[in-house]
A and B are shown apart, each in its own frame.
Chain A
Amino acid sequence: MIRVILPPHLQTLAGVGREVAITVASPATQGTVLDAIETTYPMLRGTIRDAATQRRRPLVRFFACEQDLSHDPPDAPLPEAVAAGREPFLIVGAMAGG
């Protein structure tokens, strides 16, 4: 089980709380986690990554285990602590102030 923390706007859109749990096959990757999120919550398709290109939206970030995983390839395995459910995978709206 993977724990995923969603940003507030996407919690509202999906009608869920801060954290959701999903199950993916091993090895868990960004791609398989996002596939599972979009399958479980279809209203989130296109909000985290572009629906056509599957690229991360520019102002969305992926954090886990105090690391920025945003620039990792989508098929790179997630940290073992995330795959084991000890640490959450965070989907974050990027800081974009001025």
Chain B
Amino acid sequence: MSGVRVLVGTRKGAFVLTSDERRAQWDVSGPHFAGWEMYHLKGSPVDPNRLYASQTSGWFGQTMQRSDDGGVTWTPVGNQFAYDGDPGTHQWYDGTQHPWEFARVWHLEPSPTDPDTVYAGVEDAALFRSTDAGQTWHELAALRDVSGHLWQPGAGGLCLHTIILDPADPGRIVVAISAAGAFRTDDGGTTWRPANRGLRSEYELPDPNADVGHCVHSIAMHPSRPNVLFMQKHWDVMRSDDAGDSWHEISGNLPSDFGFPIVVHAHEPDTVYVVPIKSDSEHFPPEGKLRVYRSRSGGNEWEALTNGLPQRDCYVNVLRDAMAVDRLDSCGVYVGTTGGQVYASADAGDTWLPIVRDLPAVLSVEVQTLS
């Protein structure tokens, strides 16, 4: 019998939610790592029992965890993220140069082919890879050669939060960094280039069309069509049909084109989901209504999905890694909020139910589809 396992990272621990293919009854396990900030947990696509987790604390720093039994037990693994060579400097808030300093792991991306290989996006922004199941980490340092000295932290820190691994081309990786932009390698990380042409940041950058500096919030790709990328930028929802070489806006009729996460339907590569947020200074849904918006046309035409979501007095946020889809026949969509709710839809967003209502603020939601 098939089912799903939802991995939820929160400000005060991790939770594992499981259900069968009906997704009506849920078993909640946790908190795991109680009291720690769990930025991200993600399972290996080739071994669903292999999970990786980023565990961090303002007191005790960064720790990494691995599970080999689907989250029942966990083992601490390597937590040394040393920048390659001389770490160099990036731009600081006051315009001076500031040394690169490791703070935490924001995002984990396990390899689609090897359960022992996993990528980590970190703050201060850099990309690391482990090929020994998380025991040791090595930086793909050429990324920071792409005008890294010009990168400046945004309000959330200089974080590398998005890692897209092309399933058809192992050499191609797209990453995104807050307040720096999107970057792509076609040779496995030896060389990188900005992938920001077409992005416009009129009120955030002195040159709205700059090569780097755009505040990309999230990027999504459907594995069957790796050249098509969807982006939620600070403001603007964008699409690329050439793997990030160029972008065009698809915000269309959204009530606000500010937001954080963006995901693609598991079986319909042109069906995309976003969660509009009122503005960069008011991080809650417009009009106090939590609405997921769905486009079935690859952007521009969006419909509000509201059935089962709070439609009054709702002032939560949905963070960049807190929306995900499963791969069951009727695609499930999952949204976690800073109010501690995780909403699930078993019918591609038409109707929603809360799986849990009272968790700590949700930082990330990932879904494993189990057979």
Chain A interface (Cβ < 8 Å from any Cβ of B):
7-10, 12-13, 43, 45-48, 50-52, 57, 59-60, 93-94, 96
The contact of B80 among A8, A51, A59, by CB within 8 Å, is A51
Give CA–CA (A47, B65) in the complex, Å: 14
| Chain B contacts for A12, CB-based, 8 A | 33-34
9 new A-B contacts at CB < 8 Å, known A9-B57, A13-B60: A9-B36, A9-B59, A12-B33, A12-B34, A43-B79, A47-B60, A47-B79, A51-B79, A96-B59
Closest to B64 in A: A43
Are A9 and B35 in contact, with the CB atoms below 8 A? Answer: yes
Are B63 and A43 in contact, with the CB atoms below 8 A? Answer: yes
The reply to whether the CB of B62 lies closer than 8 angstroms to some CB of chain A is: yes
Are B79 and A46 in contact, with the CB atoms below 8 A? Answer: yes
Q: Can you list 9 contacts pairing A with B, beta carbon distance less than 8 Å?
A: A9-B36, A12-B33, A43-B76, A46-B80, A50-B61, A52-B82, A57-B59, A57-B61, A59-B59
Distance in Å from the Cβ of B52 to the closest Cβ of chain A? 15
Chain B interface (Cβ < 8 Å from any Cβ of A):
33-36, 57-63, 76, 79-80, 82
Give CA–CA (A10, B35) in the complex, Å: 11
Are A60 and B80 in contact, with the CB atoms below 8 A? Answer: no
Are B61 and A47 in contact, with the CB atoms below 8 A? Answer: yes
Are B58 and A47 in contact, with the CB atoms below 8 A? Answer: no
Distance in Å from the Cβ of B84 to the closest Cβ of chain A? 13
Contact A60-B76, Cβ < 8 Å, known A9-B35, A9-B36, A52-B82: no
Give CA–CA (A11, B282) in the complex, Å: 39
Are B80 and A48 in contact, with the CB atoms below 8 A? Answer: no
Distance in Å from the Cβ of B193 to the closest Cβ of chain A? 30
The contact of B59 among A43, A46, A51, A94, by CB within 8 Å, is A94
| Chain B contacts for A59, CB-based, 8 A | 58-59
Give the interface centre of A10, A46, A59, A96 by most chain B CB atoms within 10 Å: A46
| Chain A contacts for B82, CB-based, 8 A | 51-52
| Chain B contacts for A9, CB-based, 8 A | 35-36, 57, 59-60
Give CA–CA (A6, B36) in the complex, Å: 16
Return the 4 tightest CB-CB contacts between A and B, nearest first. A43-B76, A47-B60, A59-B59, A93-B59
Give CA–CA (A48, B80) in the complex, Å: 13
Are B80 and A47 in contact, with the CB atoms below 8 A? Answer: no
